[in-house]
Structure 1
Amino acid sequence: MADEDTASASKPTRPSMTSAMRSSSFLQEHQQYRPPSKPENHYGIDTVVEDMRATTISSPRQISPFNGIPSPDNPPRIVESGVSHELSHPNCTPAPGTSADKLVATLFYRHSAPRASNSIPSPKRAVSPKPPGSPKLSANEAELPPNMAPSSSLETFPLEPPASEPDPLDHIYGSHISPMCITSFLHLMSSFPLPPGSTDMASSHRCLRVGATPDHHPEVVELTMSPAPSPDYLSLDDLRKHELIYRFEREWNVDVALRTDTLWRRYPRLVVFDMDSTLITQEVIDLLAATIKDPPDLAARVADITHRTMIGELEFELAFRERVKLLAGLPASIFEELRPVLDVTNGVPKLISALKKLGVKTAVLSGGFLPLTSWLASELGLDYAHANEVVIDEATGKLTGEVKGRIVGAERKRELLIEIAAKEGIALEQVVAVGDGANDLLMMEAAGLGVAWNAKPRVQMEAGARLNGDTLLDLLYLFGFRDDEISKLAA
């Protein structure tokens, strides 16, 4: 028995694989041959399985399901291969049976009139009453600090000091209509109450003109806002004159033209112009007075009356008759002699050409003289021309200082505008009136849009839109035309 036990103990046992010898790879345990090196850029399945042991697999990317129904949380947006496109917002077109109340703002950057100052100088102390024998103020003492009264007299003390000029933000963000300018304007418009039932204002904008600089910054931009501010709170006329709008224009050195976005805004059918300081850069009656050398101060006197009349200080008809009397004795040939002297406003010939291509009727209603107005209308190709007709002595061929018929003043201009529109079968909503003086305000009011062209302060405030550029061709931007389209029309 002892020998058998010794023999069994000396017999080798059957090999077995312990847990320490085991691995998680069946291929590694049972593979009989492995090549000494791996071919470049080629890995077998065994290598992949082996390398996976030291790799952690991240959780799959979360993909939001598409339910097929666009909503504010899931907008209908396409982003693929560098193309980003979002379908229009629901305010672009009204629902069936409803109407869209949209407001269009056209912003013109005033590059030709950069603003250099950002504050109004404080009043001079010299205007205050001083006791006799008081010493003269030095130059440094002539300015009052901003927080002190400009007068020592209670009778002349203002109830409220003048507001300081806003900072010129275009100097900071760029001398053009910058994104910050548009953002500031939209923020301003959002401060006005919306119609009942409206919660948010949707907006869009497009550039109508870019500058000639290499960066091609926008200089005219059209913004469309929907819905417009509530007319029950603020009418469009009051909105145009709002202090916040005026301050915004001063901050960004722009002119803002506000219009209701109607069909007639884009399709005018009659444009009526004033002549002096609108179609031409001069006042004809001042040119006539300048030809009279005796008395030597006549031209200055007539020019002063003209200026006071244009800003609304004097009644136009009486002032016109008074000035015409001063021209008595001038030869009738003076009107022909002045033709080469007339300086047509920049952009006018191209503007008239563009309007004619669009089928728009044009007219000039002038408080000047018919011989020159009719000649200019024929040269430019205007359809209508109305002005004052002076009396000429047939025997001497000289002006008598009198006027035939009614004076073409403010009332007559409005009547003529309405008569021409009725004759052509044109609604007043499709009429545009352009002028610069107080005698143009009534015809601007009768038209669908009144445009003040480099006008006097009162006209700037009362007109529906203001243009203060260097070319009257800017009028076409108010109709929504882009610069390239205007170039084609004016060619």
Structure 2
Amino acid sequence: MAEGNPATAHRQPPPARPQLGGMRSSSYLQEHQQYRGPATKPEGHFGIDTVVEDLQSTTISPAKSFSPFNGVPSKDEPPRIVDGGSHDFTHPNCAAPRGQKTSKLIATLMYKANKKSTPLASSRASASNDNLPSPRLPKSDSDLPANMAPTTNFDDFPLEPRAANEPEPLDHLYGSYISPMCITSFLHLMSTFPLPPGLSEITSSHRCLDDPDHPLVVELTLSPGPAEDFLSLADLRKHELIYRFEREWNIDVALQRGSLWRRHPRLVVFDMDSTLITQEVIDLLAATLKDPPDLAQQVADITHRAMLGELEFDAAFRERVQLLKGLPVSIFEQLRPVLDVTTGVPDLIKALKRLGVKTAVLSGGFLPLTSWLASELGLDYAHANEVELDDAGRFTGEVKGRIVGKERKRELLLEIAAKEGIALSQVVAVGDGANDLLMMDAAGLGVAWNAKPRVQMEACARLNGESLMDLLYLFGFTREDLETLVE
């Protein structure tokens, strides 16, 4: 009956069922190279290569050579922290190769604060402290007016135009100290200047000279500095970007070449009035005269204009001495207890003497008080003006010999350096007035101390603090060094 059934007459038998035993391996994944067990990993292959390379050692990328770690850090075996120690085998700012010289720029950043304060970040826990202003110097002539050009010489005008508005201070955002953001901003600024030919990158390192947790003084070493052919050091110090950076972060930036002489000065020369002492002696003398009543104010106005550079110093000094006619010479002894020595000066002189550095005071004031102060502080040289006296020992209103003005100060600095056999590159001059500019220009480093605006911009370095001991930071000394020198 089955043979006669037309529905099943042409039906084909079903195909045979596939058998796993007929495949070359026991795994479909192995067959198609999707997985390779640890036992089959080819020798000499590592990492992701074991997934994409076949059993016949056909590689997509060259095999990585392998050598055991021999203890010397490299790119493949970077330095590691072992037992709490860390060491970096990079070589920025190391000694130059034999036959070559380094080209380093030292930037000393000094925060203009009159006291140490707590960083803003650490005071967030107290809402009452959020709006506390950061410490700043009180307003004085040392502050640069917003509308004043950094120089009176048109040829030396800033290399970029001044913005319409002064930059907004940023220390109230990042803390009243030299913050990491401040350092980063400065490094970014310096990276915008062209490098010397043949160099494509700049390396840097920094160290906190006073306090690693709340630094007010930070020294940065940049190697190399900007190309001298493009921007000299003198122009770099006056650059508009540097000026704006100082205003934004409330700091002073001192730029020096990284030379041996920066760390080893041999002669430091000071102005006296408003530098070694906080007053102007001639103003103190005028204040003792009551007739006419406005005499003291007249003298003070002339002094102020002379220090700003608006009046020729020699003529202004003669005019003021004329106004002091009749004063007894005993007034100098009476003023000795009144003199207010600038904070840090006794310790600074002590430190310099221990370092073997010669010191001098070149004053546009009066020799009796200058010599007495030099003796009290232990200075090696003292030069100032001498007034003529009548038979009764009173001022005649005239001056003996040459006035110690800006030209004479420069001459005296050169004479002392030559007498001591000291190169000018190892001479430092510190002053505050326009009559100190020639002296400061002759020295290897001229430092403006809480100076008038013009002097601040023309000097090599600026210090606007409370203690003249800050001068030692410019030589690369740390707070620990300062404490050792005065102990």
Query: Normalized against structure 2, the TM-score is what?
Result: 0.76
Q: Is 1:325 matched with 2:322?
A: yes
CA distance in 2, matches of 1:337, 1:116: 30
TM-superposed deviation, 1:77:
2.4
- Give the distance between the partners of 2:316 and 2:357, measured in 1 at CA: 34
Residue aligned with 1:401, SS: strand
Partner of 1:80: 82
- 1:137 counterpart residue number: none
- Give the alignment partner of residue 214 of structure 2, picking from 214, 217, 221: 217
User: 2:260 pairs with 258, 263, 268, which one?
Assistant: 263
Q: 1:205 matched to which residue of 2? A: 206
Residues 103-135 of structure 1 show CA distances to partners (whole Å, capped at 9, x for unaligned) of: 000000112253999xx9999xxxxxxxxxxxx
Identity of aligned residues (%): 70
Measured after TM superposition, the shift of residue 392 of structure 1 is 1.0
- Aligned partners of 1:115 and 1:253 also within 8 Å: no
- The answer on 1:362 being equivalent to 2:362 is no
**How far apart, CA to CA, are the structure 2 residues paired with 1:121 and 1:317?**
27
Show the counterpart of 1:343.
340
Query: Of 456, 462, 466, which residue of structure 1 is paired with 2:458?
Result: 462
* Distance change >3 Å, CA 75–CA 353, structure 1 → 2: farther
Q: Are residues 1:164 and 2:177 paired?
A: no
When the two chains are superposed, the root-mean-square deviation of aligned CA atoms in Å is: 2.7
Residue 102 of structure 1 pairs with residue 124 of structure 2: no
Which residue of 2 is the match for residue 48 of structure 1?
none
Q: Map 1:133-148; keep pairs closer than 5 Å.
A: none
How far residue 93 of structure 1 moved from its aligned partner, in angstroms, is: 1.1
Matches within 5 A, 1:224-303: 224-303=221-300
Aligned residue in 1 for 2:189? 188
Question: Residues of 1 paired with 2:336 and 2:407: CA distance?
Answer: 28
Q: Separation in 2 of the partners of 1:251 and 1:66?
A: 52
Local SS of the residue matching 2:310:
coil
Q: Which has the larger radius of gyration?
A: 1
User: Is contact 1:109-1:219 (8 Å) kept?
Assistant: yes
Displacement of 1:398 after TM fit? 0.5
Are residues 75 and 244 of structure 1, via their aligned partners in 2, closer, same or farther at CA, if it must alter by over 3 Å? farther
Indicate conservation of the 8 Å contact 1:348/1:473, yes or no. Answer: yes
Matched residue type, 1:249: E
Unaligned runs of 5+ in 1: 1-55, 124-159
Output the amino acid matched with 1:223. L
Matched, 1:372 2:360: no
Question: Counterpart amino acid of 1:232?
Answer: D
Per the alignment, do residues 195 and 169 of structure 1 end up closer, same or farther by CA in structure 2, a change over 3 Å counting? same
Matches within 5 A, 1:368-407: 368-393=365-390, 395-407=391-403
Q: Given residue 114 of structure 1, which amino acid in structure 2 is its aligned partner?
A: R
Per the alignment, residue 177 of structure 2 pairs with 176
Structure 2: distance between partners of 1:247 and 1:187: 14
Structure 2 residue identity aligned to 1:456: K
The answer for the alignment partner of 2:441 in structure 1 is 445
SS at match of 2:81: strand
Which stretch of the first structure deviates more once superposed, 91-100 or 362-371?
A: 91-100
In 1: Cα distance, 2:146 partner to 2:262 partner: 43
Deviation at 1:165, TM superposition (A): 2.3
Q: Is the contact made by 1:201 and 1:226 (CA closer than 8 Å) also made in structure 2?
A: yes
CA distance 1:325–1:469, shift in 2 (3 Å)? same
SS in 1 for 2:209: strand
Partner of 2:113: 111
| Structure 2: distance between partners of 1:399 and 1:115 | 38
For structure 2, the residue ranges without an aligned partner over 5 or more in a row are 1-36, 48-63, 115-134, 148-160
Post-superposition CA distance 1:425-464 (Å, at most 9, x none): 0000000000000000000000000000000000000000
| Counterpart contact for 1:433–1:447, Cα < 8 Å | yes
Provide the C-alpha distance between the structure 1 equivalents of 2:471 and 2:93, rounded to a whole number of angstroms.
Answer: 28
Distance in 2, matches of 1:374 and 1:122, equals 39
How far off its partner does 1:488 sit? 1.2
CA offset at residue 167 of structure 1? Answer: 2.6
Distance in 2, matches of 1:253 and 1:122, equals 14
Contact 2:92–2:223 (CA under 8 A) maintained in structure 1:
no
1:436 maps to which residue? 432
The aligned residue for residue 93 of structure 1 is: 95
More displaced stretch, 306-315 vs 106-115: 106-115
Kept after mapping to 2: 8 A contact 1:271/1:361? yes
Whole-Å separation in 2 of the counterparts to 1:409 and 1:258: 28
Change (3 A) 1:390 1:75: farther
The answer as to 2:308 corresponding to 1:307 is no
Shift in Å, 1:66:
5.8
Equivalents in 2 of 1:57, 1:68: separation in Å? 28
CA contact (8 A) 1:266 1:479 kept: yes
- 8 Å CA contact 1:285–1:368 kept in 2: the answer is yes
C-alpha deviation, 1:73, in angstroms: 3.7
Letter in 1 for 2:103: D
CA–CA distance in structure 2, aligned partners of residues 347 and 163 of structure 1: 38
1:81 and 1:69, CA in 2 relative to 1: closer, same or farther beyond 3 A? closer
* Other structure's SS at 1:421 match: helix
Which position in structure 2 is the counterpart of 1:18? Answer: none
The one of the two structures with greater contact order (alpha-carbon pairs below 8 A, sep at least 6) is 2
- 1: CA distance between counterparts of 2:68 and 2:398? 82
CA drift at 1:75: 7.3
| Cα-to-partner distance string for 1:219-278 (whole Å, 9 max, x where unaligned) | 100000001100100000100010100111111111100000100000000000000000
Partner of 1:400, secondary structure, is strand
Residue deviations 1:368-397, cap 9 Å, x none? 00000000000000000000011111x211
What residue in structure 1 maps to residue 33 of structure 2?
none
